[in-house]
């Protein structure tokens, strides 16, 4: 029996996708389901989204594409890492996915495979417009677009780029990237275009083009900084209470004796730790880089926000439940780590990280429960 559980609300996931589809206006809305659908389960989450009308998905690596196409053979799947040798090209093609080609070398690999099988297989072209991560440079994309228009080296059905700073609506880089993308787009006539990630959808119609690619927003994370998050929480993480103990003022808790109790306290020991992806940086005291985090993390128990005490350990985390009425505590088995009462992004901020990392770090020891209908 597990000491941690995840409840994954597929109805909330679908509602979030529909919300993003509405915000995307006339553009089609895909779903980014890489990293096991941000820890929610690739096949389960993608099947729910496909049932709601999502027909296009983005994954990170070929193995994810193979899994997804086996579960949903009728959907369109793009592989963001592209192809890196003949074997990966064959694997992507065999499962019916489409590579996102990120360099001239990848274009050559895919083109060579297409010539070998005598088929003009679809792909996407990724133009880097300022992030300096994957993608052809804007200049390479401009030249290639013109050459490919004459020689048909590959058969792209999508041109894409990725926004670096869209989570800050006032950041000038988004406008610069938009301008660069529009220039590249001009040399790929008849090819659909995609620029907006989750945050990009909120930048408005100029960024939507033909296809938007929400990711974190689908799973309940905040896409834009400094504004209320309109997305519904999808994942609730909880830890089982293994023991409640009493400790006196002046006594220390957890490794390193980094936190000394200021009052007589009740402590709930919960069965989760950094081996489960619950970050050590969430510790109540004694965490590394504490200057980057204002305070330690919180849990939720019986209507109360309960602070973490001392260091998060490999398998156990201590919570101060002194203010929880004893009667409520006696009937409580689980502490919420994040979910409807402790927002994902609040929990991530307490650990000095982001919701993306927290979701995708959740380990295999959590028992997973699916809510739907």
Annotated active-site positions, please? 34, 255
Using alpha carbons, select from 272, 287, 243 the residue that is nearest to residue 336. Answer: 272
- 311's CB contacts (< 8 A; 6+ apart) are 254, 255, 256, 258, 280, 283, 284, 285, 286, 287
Core vs surface per residue 76-97: b (16+ CB within 10 A) or e: bbbbbbbbeeeebbebbbebbb
SS (H, E, C) 98-162: EEEECCHHHHHHHHHHHHHHCCCCEEEEEEECCCCCCCEEHHHHHHHHHHHHHHCCCEEEEEECC
Environment class of 195 (CB within 10 Å of its CB; exposed 0-12, middle 13-18, buried 19+): buried
Beta bridge partners of 300: 305, 336
Q: Are 176 and 130 in contact (CB under 8 A)?
A: yes
Pairing of strands 4-9, 367-371: parallel
Cα torsion 115, 116, 120, 123: sign: negative
Count the Cβ atoms, other than its own, within 10 Å of residue 112: 13
Determine the length of the chain. Answer: 373
Classify 306 as helix, strand or coil. strand
Alpha-carbon gap, residue 116 to 87, rounded angstroms: 13
Task: Give one DSSP letter per residue of 205-224, joined into a string.
Answer: GGGTTTEE---GGGGT---S
Q: For residues 51 and 63, what is the distance between their CA atoms, to the nearest angstrom?
A: 23
């Amino acid at each position: 029996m597990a000491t941690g559980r995840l409840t994954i609300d597929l109805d909330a996931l679908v509602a979030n996708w529909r919300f993003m589809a509405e915000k995307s206006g006339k553009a089609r809305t895909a779903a980014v389901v890489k990293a096991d659908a941000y820890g929610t389960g690739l096949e389960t989450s993608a099947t729910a989204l496909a049932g709601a009308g999502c027909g296009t998905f983005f994954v990170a690596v070929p193995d994810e594409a193979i899994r997804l196409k086996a579960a949903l053979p009728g959907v369109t799947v793009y592989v963001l890492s592209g192809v890196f040798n003949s074997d990966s090209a064959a694997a992507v093609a065999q499962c019916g996915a489409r590579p996102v080609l990120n360099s001239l070398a990848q274009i050559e690999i895919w083109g060579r495979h297409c010539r070998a099988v005598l088929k003009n297989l679809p792909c996407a072209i990724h133009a880097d417009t300022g992030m300096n991560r994957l993608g052809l440079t804007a200049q390479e994309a401009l030249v290639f677009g013109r050459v490919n228009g004459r020689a048909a080296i590959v058969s792209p059905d999508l041109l894409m780029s990725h926004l670096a700073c869209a989570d800050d609506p006032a950041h000038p880089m988004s406008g610069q990237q938009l301008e660069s993308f529009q220039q590249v787009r001009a040399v790929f006539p008849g090819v659909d275009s995609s620029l907006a990630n989750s945050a990009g959808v909120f930048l408005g119609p100029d960024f939507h083009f033909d296809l938007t690619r929400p990711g974190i927003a689908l799973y309940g994370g905040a896409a834009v900084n400094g504004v209320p998050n309109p997305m519904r929480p999808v994942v609730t993480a909880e830890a089982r209470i293994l023991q409640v103990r009493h400790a006196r003022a002046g006594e220390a808790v957890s490794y390193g004796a980094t936190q000394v109790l200021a009052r007589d306290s009740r402590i709930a020991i919960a069965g989760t730790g950094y081996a489960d992806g619950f970050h050590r940086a969430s510790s109540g005291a004694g965490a590394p880089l504490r200057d980057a985090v204002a305070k330690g993390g919180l849990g939720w128990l019986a209507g109360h926000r309960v602070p973490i005490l001392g260091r998060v350990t490999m398998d156990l985390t201590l919570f101060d439940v002194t203010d929880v009425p004893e009667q409520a505590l006696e009937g409580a088995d689980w502490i919420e780590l994040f979910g409807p009462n402790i927002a994902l992004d609040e929990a991530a901020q307490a650990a000095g990280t982001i919701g993306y990392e927290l979701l995708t770090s959740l380990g295999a020891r959590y028992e997973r429960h699916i809510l739907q209908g």
